[in-house]
Structures are given as structure tokens and as C-alpha cells.
Amino acid sequence: MRIILLGPPGAGKGTQAKSMSESLGIVHISSGDLLRDHQARGTELGNTAHSYMQQGLLVPDELIIGMIEERIQLPDAKNGYVLDGFPRTVEQAKALEEALEKQGETIDRVANISVSEEELILRLGGRWICRQCQKPYHEVNSVPRKHGVCDDCGGELYQREDDVPEAVSHRIKVFAEQTTPLIRYYTEKGNLVEVDGEGRIEEVRESLLSAVA
């Protein structure tokens, strides 16, 4: 099973991808998490990506495409994956399709999670992430049992440097301009399903699981 989660920043892609990957027994591949890992390790890709990410702009397609193509070749991706944050442009979607075609593979489902802009701003402003396993929390909507500590792995929670108002508003704008064309692209391919992302985390999880079943 190969699934893509589409949706604006803060829609709940990371939250839902993590739980879907556990329910379906497939890996969760997040382009943002991979980029932040490159940054933490100080790789060339991480250093190049940093200024784009900090401003809420997209990292150039050729860098992202290479990184994801490598990731989906790893043995743990053989059974399938949930892609979170990739593709974000039509160029990226086409490159993914070509890479899969070479192996006789396709994407099974693309789920588009929609959430209003007011709600996105509230979600991103209160987001905390586990430094170790990348699980997202929220200071009101998804509070960890112990302040500042991940329920799942005990890792330290931190706030992303791009979850500040200026970068958030850039990311929402970039999504509208560069990522919404993908909705039409996948609608035309016939494998897009729409999911209402406004409900509680558990409700969205149920809708998503039935949408991709």
C-alpha cells in the first residue's frame, strides 16, 4: 500500500501518518522530518535547505526528489509507505510517478486533508514536536502526559523555528500557490479522496482509514 497525504501545514498529516503507518504496518516517510534530520547532522543538503525552510519557502525540487527517491528504495519501504509532505509540486509528483513506474509500482491512494486557515494558525502556533521520534503534540489539543516529554519515547519536546507567525503565513501561501495544483493532478488520475480534517484527531483518523481502505 502506497499512500500520499496532501494538505496544508498544520492539517494533521504528521499526526495521522504516524498512526496510519502503525495501523497498516507500513513506514511513515516525512520529507520535513528527513530534511530536519539532515540539518541536525549538518549535511550539505541540510545546510542548503535551512534558509528555505526557515522562511517557509519550498526547498528546490531537485534536492527533495533525490532525497525521497533514495528513501523509498530502502528495504523497509518495500511493503509500502505513507508519504507526508511529498510531493508538494506537480514536478515532484511527476518525478515520483516516473521513479515508481520503473519498478512497476503506483500510488494507491492520495488523501487530501482540508482544514480552515484560522484552525491551521491555531494548530501551528501551539505545536510541539518530539526531538527523538518526531511525534507532534499540541499545547491544547494533544497534551503530553508529562509536560515537555514525549508519551511514546520519553524524548524532549521542542517548537519548530518555522512555526512562528511570519513563516507560518508564508507556508500557507506557498501551499495555496504551489501545492493545490496537485489536487487537480491527482483528481484527474482518479485516486484522490477528500477528508475533512477539522474534527478531533480520532475522528480524522477514522475518516482517513475508511477513505484509503
Binding site for ligand ADP (CB under 6 A): 7, 9-15, 31-32, 35, 52-53, 56-59, 64, 85-88, 92, 123, 126-127, 136-138, 141-142, 171, 200-201, 204
Q: 17 Cβ partners below 8 Å, 6+ apart?
A: 5, 28, 30, 82, 84
Is 102 noted as a catalytic residue in this protein? no
Is 173 noted as a catalytic residue in this protein? no
Kindly indicate which of the ranges 7-15, 75-83, 87-95, 151-159 contains the residues binding Zn ion, using the contact rule CB under 5 A: 151-159
Q: What are the cell numbers at 61?
A: 525540487
Question: Would you put residue 201 in left (φ > 0), alpha (ψ -120 to 50) or beta?
Answer: alpha
CB 6 within 8 A of CB 183: yes
Is 205 noted as a catalytic residue in this protein? no
Q: Which CA distances in Å does 64 have to 15, 76, 85, 91?
A: 22, 20, 11, 11
Among 74, 133, 143, 176, binds Zn ion (CB under 5 A): 133
Q: Is 150 an interacting residue with respect to Zn ion (CB under 5 A)?
A: yes
Candidates 2, 18, 71, 171; catalytic one = 171
Q: Smallest distance from the beta carbon of 70 to Zn ion, in angstroms?
A: 24
Pick 144 or 199: Cβ nearer Zn ion: 144
User: 128, 61, 60: which is closest to 92 by C-alpha?
Assistant: 61
Q: In what order do the strands lie in the sheet with 2-6?
A: 27-30, 81-84, 2-6, 109-114, 192-196
Candidates 2, 13, 36, 109; catalytic one = 13
Enumerate binding residues for Zn ion (CB under 5 A): 130, 132-133, 135, 150, 152-153, 155
Residues annotated catalytic, as ranges: 13, 88, 127, 160, 171
